[in-house]
Amino acid sequence: MSDTATLSAKFQISIPKKVREARKWKAGQKFVFLPKGTGVILVPVPDAKTLAGIARGARIEDPRDRNDRF
């Protein structure tokens, strides 16, 4: 999927319809812009309902740190 958009004079960009439909993005949805090199990564912000229970079963008494990673 390689669609383009143009930055307007008001610094707005319209997300192409094919991209919105493929990602199931809706009007009013919030996004985060993450700088990456000379570009930006656009990430949708999940709502609280989507995140409910995501850490179920996490061990709080013995957290992992960077040395535990592969």
CA angle 36, 30, 33 (to 5 degrees): 10
**Total-model pTM:** 0.61
Mean per-residue pLDDT, 52-66: 74
DSSP reduced 3-state for 32: strand
Residue for token pair 């079963």: 57
CA distances from residue 34 to 8, 23, 37, 45 in whole angstroms, order as listed: 20, 18, 10, 12
Q: Confidence class of residue 3 from pLDDT cuts 50, 70 and 90?
A: confident
CA angle 46, 17, 48 (to 5 degrees): 10
How high does pLDDT run on average in the chain?
Answer: 86
Q: Confidence class of residue 21 from pLDDT cuts 50, 70 and 90?
A: very high
